[in-house]
Amino acid sequence: MSTTTAVVRKNTYYDSVSLMSVSTKANALEGVEQAFTAMGTEMNKGVLDNLGLLTDELREAASGDLMIVLVAADDADTGALLERVEELLQRKAPASAGAGAVTYRTLTAAAEAVEGANLAVIAVNGAYAAREARKALTSGLHVMLFSDNVSVADEVSLKQLAHEKGLFMMGPDCGTAIINNVALCFGNKVRPGSVGIVAASGTGSQEVSVRVHALGGGISQLIGTGGRDLSEEVGGLMMTDGIRALAADPATDVIVLVSKPPAPSVEKKVLAEAAAAGKPVVVYFIGGSEEAVTAAGAHFAASSLDAARQAVAHAGVQPAPGAGEFDAEAAADAVVARLTEGQRHVRGLFCGGTLCDETMYAVRDAGVDVYSNIQKDPAYRLAAGAASTGHTFLDFGDDDFTNGRPHPMIDPALRLERLVEEAKDPSVAALVLDFVLGFGSHEDPVGTTLPAIQEAQRVAAEAGRHLPVIAYVLGTDLDTPSVAAQSAALEAAGVIVTRSSTETGQFAREIARKAK
């Protein structure tokens, strides 16, 4: 029989990402059958209840209390194991805390005491996020609100407050920004330059910034607005303020807008703002219409690569050589030639929402049905746990998959399982993957995925099939690890590596068309 020990540490707060990483490490300790470190939220208590581990003491835990639950093997020393878990919990001092450093407990105190503080990055539970953001804005700080689960009403009132105070209110649910050449949260190391980006999509803006860099251009500012900014309710408050700020910024020569298609009334507002910018504005609204953009005097981009190319051209940069046109048809022919009868479906497993979206739109352009967990049409919508059907493109960064766990850019575990699962399906013609490098991301996404790719290919080979794997690595040569190193590791394992999100979409589209 194993022994279960539960400890509640009152008023002890850890962020969920730290706790999940502690849980992972604790579960790997010898003698531990199951370890669980989590805050005493209703959701976490529900998880424990399902596992049959919810004691009365744990039931009493408040969301500000830390719960440690340890199921130890029969012969294990529970006391010693608990000590090891406590050691794992020992808070590592943040890089900013030097010897004798002052610790601040509240935004208001830090904003007052830290000379020159000008921006707050907020990544707390959604229930508290709006409150913290309001404090930051009130204290005169720009805000990057990483948290999700913030209500639309809060988002609107925060953005209005920011607007009145002349501050940026980036987010909520915003993973990317580059301010003064410093990438915040998820972002890539790109050259400074004259292309300014305002984006409602995280990986979409990462992709455009990385492509601009690859073409020899550079980024002045990248302002992430949050995914709902261009909805009817929020009304593009941040995107219009962002355009205005870049229009007034002498270091910015050209402005790129990235988003999913805005609500029609918002599109009008945004394009009116673009028309008034007095600088070239390139608009990439995935799947958006060309007409309205052109009518507003802005430049329509049909893809992320197109957006980057136009931006670089308007910035007066001579595109770097070697970026020749991609012959998607020829590439697809080579792949399809090796397939067996019945291998006809493309399966895309993505970390980046916009990368998934762009590829999905490209495949749909071929006139075929595409299923996805981010499809708007319920007829083609797949639940997170559902098996793939036909051409399926999954965004593992979407809420259904991330509920209670870190983003796949940090922890790819779910995607790894799915990769092997897909290989068992004889109808699969190709697997399409993305790897996102940069700040905030996993330190070696390719390395951690290669064993699963090899396993998938072994499963297919045993069934007598060749299983092509196509991968795109979003990153620059300045990122750690570099895009070159990660791509080389993929190619060494027989993976076909594409050179942009747009190319990935074209490639997938041609395979979907040609594979029968």
Partner 1 sequence: MSTPELTTSETAAPAAALFGSDLNVVNVGLAMFDTDIAAQGARVTTLDWTPPGGGSVEAARALDTLDEPALAARIEEANAEAVERITAARPMLVGYGRALDVVPGMTPTTILHAGPPITWDRMNGPMRGAVTGALVFEGLAEDLEEAAEVAASGRITFKPCHEMDTVGSMAGVTSASMYMHIVRNETHGNTAYTNLSEQMAKILRMGANDESVVERLIWMRDVFGPMLKEAVEFTGPIDLRLLLSQAIHMGDECHNRNGAGTLLLFQALAPGLLQSSFTTAQKKEVFDFVASSDYFSGPTWMAVAKAALDAANGIEHSTIVTTMARNGVDFGIRVAGLPGQWFTGPAQRVVGPMFAGYRPEDSGLDIGDSAITETYGFGGFAMSAAPAIVALVGGTVAEATQYTRDMGEITTTRNPNVTIPALDFQGLPTGIDVRKVIDTGILPIINTAIAHKEAGIGMIGAGITHPPAEAFTKAVTALAETFAGSSS
Could you say which residues in the range 52-111 bind partner 1, by CB under 8 A?
62-65, 91-92, 94-97, 100, 102-111
State the Cα–Cα distance between residues 426 and 80, nearest whole angstrom. 49
- Our finding on whether 407 is near partner 1 (CB under 8 A) is no
Of 92 and 376, the one with the shorter C-beta distance to partner 1 is 92
How open is the CA angle 150-153-158, to the nearest 5 degrees?
75
Of 183 and 298, the one with the shorter C-beta distance to partner 1 is 183
By three-state DSSP, how is residue 5 classified?
strand
- Residue 481, token pair as written in the block: 């690890």
Of 27 and 139, the one with the shorter C-beta distance to partner 1 is 139
Would you give the binding string for partner 1 spanning residues 427-466, x where CB under 8 A is met?
A: ------------xx--------------------------
Rule CB under 8 A: choose which of 23, 147, 502, 506 binds partner 1.
147
Rule CB under 8 A: choose which of 162, 190, 430, 432 binds partner 1.
162
- Our finding on whether 50 is near partner 1 (CB under 8 A) is no
Residue type, 512: A
Burial class (CB in 10 A: 0-12, 13-18, 19+), 67: buried
Instruction: Give the shortest CB-252-to-partner 1 separation in angstroms.
Output: 9
Which region among 39-47, 261-269, 365-373, 458-466 touches partner 1 (by CB under 8 A)? 39-47
Which region among 15-23, 378-386, 423-431, 498-506 touches partner 1 (by CB under 8 A)? 15-23
Instruction: Give the shortest CB-339-to-partner 1 separation in angstroms.
Output: 42
- Contacts to partner 1 from residues 255-314, by CB under 8 A: none
Instruction: Give the shortest CB-33-to-partner 1 separation in angstroms.
Output: 28
Of 129 and 423, the one with the shorter C-beta distance to partner 1 is 129
DSSP state of 303: S
- Contacts to partner 1 from residues 188-207, by CB under 8 A: 189
Instruction: Give the shortest CB-431-to-partner 1 separation in angstroms.
Output: 29
- Our finding on whether 114 is near partner 1 (CB under 8 A) is yes
Would you give the binding string for partner 1 spanning residues 373-392, x where CB under 8 A is met?
A: --------------------
Residue type, 53: L
Of 176 and 498, the one with the shorter C-beta distance to partner 1 is 176
State the Cα–Cα distance between residues 497 and 434, nearest whole angstrom. 10
- Residue 76, token pair as written in the block: 């294990």
Would you give the binding string for partner 1 spanning residues 221-250, x where CB under 8 A is met?
A: x-------------------xx-xx-xxx-
The residues, any chain, with a CB within 8 Å of residue 470's CB and separated by 6 or more, are 335, 430, 431, 432, 433, 495, 496, 497, 498, 504, 507, 508
- Our finding on whether 115 is near partner 1 (CB under 8 A) is yes
- Provide the β-strand partners of residue 259: 285
Region of 453 please: left (phi>0), alpha (psi -120 to 50) or beta.
alpha
- Our finding on whether 118 is near partner 1 (CB under 8 A) is yes
Q: What's the CA dihedral at 382, 383, 385, 387 to 10 degrees?
A: -20
- Residue 463, token pair as written in the block: 């069934």
Identify whether 378 is preceded by a cis peptide bond (ω within 30 of 0): no
Of 120 and 497, the one with the shorter C-beta distance to partner 1 is 120
The residues, any chain, with a CB within 8 Å of residue 136's CB and separated by 6 or more, are 107, 111, 120, 122, 142, 143
State the Cα–Cα distance between residues 248 and 279, nearest whole angstrom. 10
Contact predicate 270/240, CB 8 Å? yes
